[in-house]
Structure 1
Amino acid sequence: MEMTKKIAIIGAGPGGLAAGMLLSQLGYEVNIYEKNDRIGGRTALHKMGKYSFDIGPSALTMTHVLTSLFMDCKRDILDYVSLLPINPIHTLYFQEVTFPLYSDYAATKAVIKTYFPGEEEGFDRFMKENTKKMLYISPLNQFNYSSLFDFFRPTTLRAIPSLTLGRSLMDDLARYFNSKYLRLAFSLQMRYLGMSPWDIPAAYSIVPFSEFYYGTFHPIGGQNKIVEAMQQVVTENKGKFFFNSEVTDFELEGNEIKGARLASGQVIEADYYFTNLDFMYSLGNKPNNHLEKKEYSSSAFMLYLGLSIVLPLSHQSIVFPDNYREFSDNTIHKKILSKDLAIHITNPSATDNTMAPINHSSIRIMVSVPNNTSAIDWDKETKEFRQLILDTVKERLDFPDLDDYIEEEYIITPKDWEEKYHVKYGAVFGLQHLTRQHGFLHPSKKLPKYKNLFVIGAGALSGSSLPFIIENAQITTRKFLQKENPSNQ
């Protein structure tokens, strides 16, 4: 009788959990090793007293990707998680105008007609052309572009016009919208990708498009409920979790991994290893100079506040500075702090009454800031920067002084992202999504190849949001199965 193959998955973030679900469903013996005391990585829950917060993602779009993952495991996602639509998707606060945008096509069109008469036709074209773009670009995710030849597949060649090569997102949006406010409203990429919309390739217009096309959702209890559901499926499939188990390096023999060493000194043996990219850096502990030269995304200064007050805010609000381009340049290129900030406020209590007690709010405030390749000393800057954020919120939203209502508070600076969460340079969105760092040019393709090692997680691909991470785990699992059973190809 054939022995069950053993698989060690390193990291219990969404990528590791998705691979764990699929592999345990197929009958492999799956063990997941996590350096922290809980699952989720940056999708974890942070609890303070009576208040609950999502550390990382604040909304879920493209829910069909999650649904298909659960279907692959013969499960119905709705047996595990209750998803509530977020509407409006966000409310945008500019100095001169404030308006909401909805996932309902007609509602967004009505807003555009009210505030920007004559621009509705541009919205129609934006949606129509991006629907086509989505159809062409989506299949490209199935390839890993490990070589130049992948670019000459028929699917890639068909997609090239949709990739709008050489254009930035802002150039692209100018084709649809005359209003600078609408262009900014449809280019909130810095929130997801940690980049300036003037740098980001035009292909990424499918990100704002997906919010309007698929809608955005909040699971009751927070985004962390999604990773809890994934953990539950792995456990139902007899997969095991080992917490406080940091993998520090691998034992190598030729082009094969013989074992993964834990910080405790224990060596884990498995037939195959699935790992998040952070651990790839430590492979053989050789300095990777080409990784140092890469361009990393911005970081984020996070403020989590438990407030004894209800704020009149929708689920997501974005306060724009006077000059968004200058804010982007300061953050990404000059790597200095701005005085006039772009502030993203998440107020899950608007959708879900389980996140804070009645008549209270769990508020999360995020400001994009330079990553740790800057010379910013966060031990010195944190207090003043926190005050600047609260002053800006008070002034721009006409709020009372939030300091008077804070019952719980937690701050994460770029320094914390690097030291506590092991995020290189505190760049929370990983590498910048630039054409020269994509596909077969992505650093994960330059790392040494080991025949029983597979790379998953946000660092293994261009796209750091949950749907992309899950798709990547599905693709990597398929590649693994092709390797395991070449006759089935």
Structure 2
Amino acid sequence: MSKDPIIIVGGGLGGLSAAISLLSQGEKVLLYEKHENLGGKANTKVIGEYRFDTGPSLLTLVKVFEDLFTLCGKNVYDYIPIVPLSPITHYWFSDGTHFTSDTIEKFTPTLTSHLEVTQKEVDSYISYSKKIWDLTHEIFLMKSLHSSSTYFNKKTFLSFMQLLKIDPLRSMHKANSSYFRDNKMVQLLDRYATYNGSDPYQAPATLNNIVYAEHGLGGYGVKNGIYGIVEGMAKLFYELGGVAYTQTKVERITYDNKRNITGIVVNGQEVKSKTVFSDVDTLTLYETLLQDEKAPIAKRYRSLPSSSSALVFYFGVHKEFKELGIHNIFFSDDYKKEFTEIHTLHKIPEDPTIYINITSKITPTDAPVGGENWFVLVNAPPYTGDNFEIEIERTRLTVIKKLSNILKVDLNKYIESDGILTPKMIEEETNSYQGALYGISSNTLMAAFLRHRNQSKRYKGLYHCGGSVHPGGGMPLATLSGMISSELYKKRGF
């Protein structure tokens, strides 16, 4: 156990997870967060009478959170009111096709009755997705990819002997098209590339394991909103003796001439510690907090393409839509064009796929009686300094027109409160480089190995967690990053 307190910079899910894991080891932990609320991208916003979750919305891989709380001898369900979703998502196509997704047992008959697919085809695909999941999740998600101990064991050896079975050499779209001829089915499966900000026409088919992660292991919600995850983790953090300084910006992470970490600077004053965990975007860390923009890793990261960002409209809708659920997808007519516009042309799609999260479906207090809180998201390119203002207004009109046509209602009549979140705002509010939601892009074969390691080689005493480092973005993976980094500290700490 360290004599100095361990400092966590950033109170997102990665930082909270690292803090909880370290506290369970008996360490003293000080956490610094520049905003009023903990949570990072997983935050909350109130506009008028409507409350919104501002970031991630679908909870998967619940076992990650179960394991984190078990580390501390606690039951996650005593802290976070997690509920299984059935159905999980409502899918809409422009020709009027509408159906819902669920766990595999319930989803398969839905697919065979609404699309031109057979049970044999669906079963074969699910078996394929599960195989990839079984071969990859322990190595690529649960452990550090930069620790030799990950590779020198029988399970890892056997997994690498079956490397081609994880389908790394073709794209998600090519693999999905080989299993199904129905375009709607392929489009539905291609959508899972967006779970880490990727393009299914470029991203390796290994990412098709996400399908099993959702439909095999289940999709979940939280009764008091996704921000309830943050509240539950924060409650445990404080119970374990953690100390958090919110609305407190860390100006620098300090180190000596041998690059040994010495602490942080807050309000011009140094807080000493030999160990700092960074839950900060990788480039922000090197260029601002470490002031080490010449570091090879910083140069490399700046040269790598970012994952996609998002354009979000917060609509307080004074009407109930019984045909909608908590998660709703309205597909575009040309998916290939949409992803080309985002990842190659760097523009907001002309005909975007629209996602709507309505938490009031399971948390009625999130909207007034007779109303719904619509978190409306379209995928967008990372922010590169371009003026998106014209595109944003055009997209807002497109979104409202498209939804009005499909739902057969003039949506403008019912929007009584309105807010927006742009890629530029995401960059400014979360320090995520270019407003990217998941750090660097996963559109290449080696992307998993290019993510920043969880323990620094350049600085002794510096550890990394959060969505821009291994194993990636999204709630369970960001949480895993904190658990992985704290385990590395436990094995190699001072």
Code of the residue aligned with 1:286 in structure 2: it is E
The answer on 1:409 being equivalent to 2:412 is no
Contact 2:316–2:374 (CA under 8 A) maintained in structure 1:
yes
**Which residue of structure 2 lines up, in the alignment, with residue 257 of structure 1?**
261
**Which residue of structure 1 lines up, in the alignment, with residue 13 of structure 2?**
14
What percentage of aligned pairs have identical amino acids?
Answer: 24
1:102 Cα deviation (Å)? 2.8
Q: Secondary structure at the match of 1:60?
A: coil
Farther-moved stretch of structure 1 (439-448 vs 385-394): 439-448
The answer on 1:341 being equivalent to 2:343 is no
Give me the whole-angstrom Cα distance separating, in 1, the residues matched to 2:116 and 2:451.
43
The answer on 1:399 being equivalent to 2:399 is no
1:468 Cα deviation (Å)? 1.2
**Which residue of structure 2 lines up, in the alignment, with residue 161 of structure 1?**
164
Normalised by the length of structure 2, the TM-score is 0.92
**Which residue of structure 1 lines up, in the alignment, with residue 389 of structure 2?**
379
Counterparts of 1:81-96 in structure 2, within 5 Å, are: 81-96=80-95
1:70 Cα deviation (Å)? 0.8
The answer on 1:281 being equivalent to 2:292 is no
1:455 Cα deviation (Å)? 0.5
1:436–1:106 CA distance, 2 compared to 1 (3 A) = closer
**Which residue of structure 2 lines up, in the alignment, with residue 266 of structure 1?**
269
**Which residue of structure 2 lines up, in the alignment, with residue 136 of structure 1?**
135
**Which residue of structure 2 lines up, in the alignment, with residue 294 of structure 1?**
304
Give me the whole-angstrom Cα distance separating, in 2, the residues matched to 1:9 and 1:155.
36
Q: Secondary structure at the match of 1:463?
A: coil
1:483 Cα deviation (Å)? 0.8
Code of the residue aligned with 1:90 in structure 2: it is T
Contact 1:255–1:451 (CA under 8 A) maintained in structure 2:
yes
Give me the whole-angstrom Cα distance separating, in 1, the residues matched to 2:172 and 2:453.
25
Q: Secondary structure at the match of 1:460?
A: coil
Any gaps of 5 or more consecutive residues in structure 2?
none
Q: Secondary structure at the match of 1:429?
A: coil
1:412–1:437 CA distance, 2 compared to 1 (3 A) = farther
Give me the whole-angstrom Cα distance separating, in 1, the residues matched to 2:469 and 2:20.
19
Farther-moved stretch of structure 1 (345-354 vs 29-38): 345-354
Counterparts of 1:44-123 in structure 2, within 5 Å, are: 44-123=43-122
Give me the whole-angstrom Cα distance separating, in 2, the residues matched to 1:298 and 1:118.
31
The answer on 1:146 being equivalent to 2:146 is yes
Give me the whole-angstrom Cα distance separating, in 2, the residues matched to 1:353 and 1:31.
36
Give me the whole-angstrom Cα distance separating, in 2, the residues matched to 1:217 and 1:89.
8
1:404 Cα deviation (Å)? 2.0
Q: CA RMSD in A?
A: 2.3
1:73-131 superposed Cα distances (whole Å, 9 cap, x missing partner) = 11111111212222222122112242323323232111122123542211111222222
Farther-moved stretch of structure 1 (79-88 vs 442-451): 442-451
Q: Secondary structure at the match of 1:109?
A: helix
Equivalent position to 1:304, from 314, 339, 343 = 314
Give me the whole-angstrom Cα distance separating, in 2, the residues matched to 1:64 and 1:240.
26
Give me the whole-angstrom Cα distance separating, in 2, the residues matched to 1:482 and 1:122.
46
Give me the whole-angstrom Cα distance separating, in 2, the residues matched to 1:252 and 1:39.
26
**Which residue of structure 2 lines up, in the alignment, with residue 220 of structure 1?**
223
Aligned residues: 481
1:148–1:80 CA distance, 2 compared to 1 (3 A) = closer
Contact 1:133–1:159 (CA under 8 A) maintained in structure 2:
no
Contact 2:17–2:482 (CA under 8 A) maintained in structure 1:
yes
Counterparts of 1:316-355 in structure 2, within 5 Å, are: 316-355=327-366
1:52 Cα deviation (Å)? 1.2
1:40-91 superposed Cα distances (whole Å, 9 cap, x missing partner) = 0110111223211110011101111111111111111111121222222212
Contact 1:12–1:41 (CA under 8 A) maintained in structure 2:
yes
Counterparts of 1:446-461 in structure 2, within 5 Å, are: 449-461=458-470
Give me the whole-angstrom Cα distance separating, in 2, the residues matched to 1:29 and 1:191.
38
Q: Secondary structure at the match of 1:214?
A: coil
1:381–1:134 CA distance, 2 compared to 1 (3 A) = closer
1:2-46 superposed Cα distances (whole Å, 9 cap, x missing partner) = 874410001000000011111112211111000111100110111
Counterparts of 1:470-489 in structure 2, within 5 Å, are: 470-484=479-493
Give me the whole-angstrom Cα distance separating, in 1, the residues matched to 2:175 and 2:442.
16
Give me the whole-angstrom Cα distance separating, in 2, the residues matched to 1:343 and 1:409.
17
1:203 Cα deviation (Å)? 0.8
1:186-233 superposed Cα distances (whole Å, 9 cap, x missing partner) = 222243222211111111111122111111111011111001111111
Contact 2:8–2:277 (CA under 8 A) maintained in structure 1:
yes
Farther-moved stretch of structure 1 (54-63 vs 169-178): 169-178
Code of the residue aligned with 1:139 in structure 2: it is E
Q: Secondary structure at the match of 2:36?
A: coil
Contact 1:168–1:199 (CA under 8 A) maintained in structure 2:
yes
Normalised by the length of structure 1, the TM-score is 0.92
Contact 2:69–2:75 (CA under 8 A) maintained in structure 1:
yes
The answer on 1:203 being equivalent to 2:212 is no
Farther-moved stretch of structure 1 (162-171 vs 94-103): 94-103
Contact 1:7–1:30 (CA under 8 A) maintained in structure 2:
yes
Farther-moved stretch of structure 1 (345-354 vs 175-184): 345-354
Code of the residue aligned with 1:293 in structure 2: it is S
Give me the whole-angstrom Cα distance separating, in 2, the residues matched to 1:331 and 1:3.
46
1:377–1:469 CA distance, 2 compared to 1 (3 A) = same
Contact 1:414–1:427 (CA under 8 A) maintained in structure 2:
yes
Give me the whole-angstrom Cα distance separating, in 1, the residues matched to 2:149 and 2:444.
17
